[in-house]
Chain A
Amino acid sequence: MSPHEGAIGSGASVAQTAERFEPRSARRIFVIGGIGLILCGMILGDIFAAFILHPNANRIGANLLAATRAVASHDPQAAGAAFQNIGGLLENRGTKVDAHSHMIGFGYIALLIALLQPYVAFSESAKRFLAKLFVFGAILLPVGVFLIHYVGMAGSPFGAIGWASVFGDFGGFLVWVVCLCELAGLAKYFGARPAVRASDKLLSDRGWAARALLSGGTMLVLIGFLHGSYYAGAHLFRYEARDSELLSAMTARAAAGDSAAALQAVADYGQLQGAKALNVAAHAHVIEFGVLAILLAFFQPYVFLSEKWRRIWVIVLLLGSLALPVFVLLELQWGMLAGGLADVGGFLVIVALFAMLVGIWRYAEKLDSSADVA
Chain B
Amino acid sequence: MTFSRRLLIFGGLVLAVWGMGYGIWYAVFIEHQTLDGLGSALATGFMRAAENRMAESQAALTDAGSRSFVYVRQVDAHGHWIGLGLLLLILGIAFDQVGFGERTRTYLAMALFAGSIIFPLGVLLETWNRGAGPQAVAIIGSALVILGLLGTALGFARSNS
Residues of A within 8 A of B (CB): 67-68, 70-71, 73-76, 78-80, 82-84, 86-87, 90-91, 94, 105, 108-109, 112, 115-116, 160-161, 165, 169, 172-173, 175-176, 179-180, 182-183, 186-187, 190, 197, 203-204, 206, 211, 214-215, 218-219, 221-222, 225-226, 228-229, 232-233, 240, 243-244, 247-248, 250-252, 254-255, 287, 291, 294-295, 297-298
Contacts and interface: CB of A to CB of B under 8 A. Distances in A.
B46 A222 contact: no
B160 interface: yes
Contact of A222 (B54, B97, B146): B146
Interface majority SS (helix, strand, loop, mixed), chain B: helix
Contacts of A295: 90
Given A176-B17, A179-B17, A243-B68, A115 B93 contact: yes
Contacts of B7: none
Contacts of A179: 13, 16-17, 20
A83 B146 contact: no
A244 B63 CA distance: 10
A298 B149 CA distance: 19
B21 A176 contact: yes
A81 B110 CA distance: 53
Contacts of B17: 176, 179-180, 183
Contact of A203 (B52, B94, B152): B94
B61 A244 contact: yes
A233 B149 CA distance: 19
Contacts of A291: 83, 86-87, 90
Contact of A219 (B23, B28, B153): B153
Interface of B: 1, 6, 9-10, 13-14, 16-17, 20-21, 23-24, 27-28, 32-33, 35-36, 39, 42-43, 45-52, 54, 57-58, 61-62, 64-65, 68-69, 72, 82-83, 86-87, 89-91, 93-94, 96-97, 138-139, 142, 145-146, 149-150, 152-153, 156-157, 160
Given A291-B90, A298-B94, A75 B50 contact: yes
Given A180-B17, A225-B146, A243-B65, A294 B50 contact: no
A112 B87 CA distance: 10
Q: Which 4 A-B pairs have the closest CB atoms?
A: A83-B43, A251-B49, A244-B65, A76-B50
A183 B14 contact: yes
A84 to B, nearest CB: 7
Contacts of B87: 221, 291
Given A71-B46, A74-B51, A248-B58, A214 B89 contact: no
8 contacts: A105-B83, A160-B36, A165-B27, A186-B10, A186-B13, A225-B145, A243-B65, A255-B54
Contacts of A78: 50
B94 A214 contact: yes
B69 A169 contact: no
A278 B11 CA distance: 31
